[in-house]
Amino acid sequence: MSGLLTEVGMTDDEILDAIRQVQVTDPVAARVGRHDVYLTRIRIGGREPLTTVFRIRDGRLTLLRAANGTYREDVAAALLDATDKAPPLPGGSVHLMPLSVDGFALDRVVLFPPSDGFRRRPDLREVTVRAAAVHRSEIRPGETLKTFEEATGKVMRLPIDDWSRTPQPRADVRLLDDWPGGSMTRTDHPVLRPAEHLVTTVLPRLPRGIHIEATDVRGHHLVLTRDWDRLTGTLTMPRTTTASDPTVPATSVAPYPPAPSTPRIPGATSKARASSDADPSGYAGSISDAGSSSDADPFGHTGPFRDAGSFSDADPFGHTGPFRDAGSFSDADSFDQVSAFGGTYDLEGPESPAGSGARHGTVEPDAPARYPIDLPRVSAWPALRTIFAGDEVVPELLTVPREPEQDLLEFTYQTVDHGWASIPLPDTLENCVARIRNQIIRTPENWAVFRSRSQAIVQVRCEDHEPPLWLETPYPEADHSLGRHVTLTEAEHLLTILAREDRSAVPELDALTTVPWP
């Protein structure tokens, strides 16, 4: 008798009759491995059939589903074998069991109560357990039903009924810094996301000064930030290794304490109205209705564009506010509105005694091991995948020699019709040029500031002029800017020099205007 069997109020014949009442097609008796089962196959919307397996025994029903023609008899037999070895389901959580099938990528069986179907027969639901194939990197041992439903439902949309799928390693994400107006917010709970999407799409575009923690299902904590063209941070190992039995929950390190508030620039708390125009660079932005600011302009001047029509307190051309400090970012990326619970981060530097040990992977007494992470921002996934995929962690792979990424700039911008970003964002030279051509130059008073690795600056603004693009470089030490109106071709040339030579070539232009700062 299976460990899942308990005293129930239905006989095997009553269960079969109930199945026939709720199924569209009559189940057909079959043999799967050593198990007597019933099968149904239904085509939905012209797709390959959905196969459902019913194993009835001792007043209990075990249910398997395989979507889109992905059913395999050897997998079904292995799933049913695993349920025979499982202990009773703990209340409010799921149970994981090992699974091994030749040529099958998924290596765990997850057992859980049915969350759908049988609505007309709640008595049938009470005696049913679902078994599905997952990967060790996708579901945490002892997962609550709520979190499991987030992983398989509207959050991660893990297709557990697709038996042909490849594993989708998961990350439980926390934002460790305030990000006013950003695409992530700090809450008291983690958010589940596909780890590959996090590493390949979100982290490479992370604004400067923002840190994210990502935890795999085994309890490995990664705290990462973007340092120009690198992803840097630390890996903290769980206190208990789970390499021998990944179905046993790891003892995670203590959660980070609450983080101190990150300063917000004036105007960052104001409401933003959504923009309906598509952003050619891939951002879907909104426009800040920023209020006035008393902070000093980092350039120390009000600039040539100060007039009653100015709309931003963060205008680098001198419209009264700062733009240099971290602040709002209204662009929503494909990460959706991620929410994560707050915490501090520990990226110790070599000047710190604790940091020196952490960066070399040493372990203090009773402390979890920590290892440094230093990877190219656009190619970090191969190294980090081993962690999230549930494989053995090789700390030496987490640091690679620094080779500068070509054609990279950081930018801030504000537009009338395409949103704004006052935290420096990274992007390629090609996309920065496209932003000027397709966005900045569309409407007067749109502006953008581009910075190189060493913080050399070229900034542009659209004016009611021909040509419409004013371009300048500020010189705070001299209390002035140098610039003139330029063509798009000239602007592209100057951005190319900024990205590839890490300098502003504005002084090399002829007919420059010196704009003194009051």
The helix or strand, by DSSP H or E, that contains position 385, with its residue range, turns out to be: helix 381-388
Provide the pLDDT confidence category of residue 225 given band limits of 50, 70 and 90.
very high
The more confidently predicted of residues 327 and 252 is: 252
**Which residues have CB under 8 Å from 85's CB, separation 6+?**
3, 97
Q: What is the mean pLDDT of residues 253-261?
A: 34
Residue 484 vs residues 43, 443, 448, 451, 460: alpha-carbon distances, Å: 66, 18, 15, 18, 10
pLDDT digits 0-9 by tens, 191-205: 999 999 999 999 999
Q: Residue 268: pLDDT above 60? A: no
Q: What is the mean pLDDT of residues 29-33?
A: 97
Q: Record the tokens describing residue 160, joined without a space.
A: 């557990």
Q: What is the mean pLDDT of residues 356-380?
A: 72
Nearest Cα to 127, choosing from 8, 244, 253? 8
Q: What is the mean pLDDT of residues 123-139?
A: 94
Q: Which of 59-73, 254-268, 355-369 has the highest mean pLDDT?
A: 59-73
Q: What's the confidence (pLDDT) of residue 47? A: 80
Q: What's the confidence (pLDDT) of residue 35? A: 97
The more confidently predicted of residues 408 and 292 is: 408
Q: Record the tokens describing residue 430, joined without a space.
A: 């090609």
277-288-429 Cα angle (round to 5): 60
Q: What's the confidence (pLDDT) of residue 514? A: 96
| The amino acid at 438 | N
Q: What's the confidence (pLDDT) of residue 275? A: 30
Q: What is the mean pLDDT of residues 101-121?
A: 88
pLDDT digits 0-9 by tens, 276-326: 333 323 333 332 333 323 333 333 333 333 332 333 334 555 533 333 333
Q: What's the confidence (pLDDT) of residue 240? A: 62
pLDDT digits 0-9 by tens, 412-424: 999 998 788 888 8
Lowest mean pLDDT segment, chosen from 155-159, 163-167, 241-245: 241-245
> How many other C-beta atoms can be found within 10 angstroms of the C-beta atom of residue 516?
10
Q: What is the mean pLDDT of residues 348-361?
A: 36
Q: What is the mean pLDDT of residues 259-284?
A: 30
Residue 221 vs residues 226, 373, 449: alpha-carbon distances, Å: 17, 12, 35
Question: What is the spatial distance between Cα 378 and Cα 405, in angstroms, rounded to a whole number?
Answer: 9
330-491-517 Cα angle (round to 5): 75
What are the sequence ranges of the domains in the chain?
A: 12-152, 170-259+342-398, 272-330+406-516
pLDDT digits 0-9 by tens, 469-493: 999 999 999 999 999 999 999 999 9
- Phi/psi-derived region of residue 318, left when phi > 0, alpha when psi is between -120 and 50, beta in every other case: left
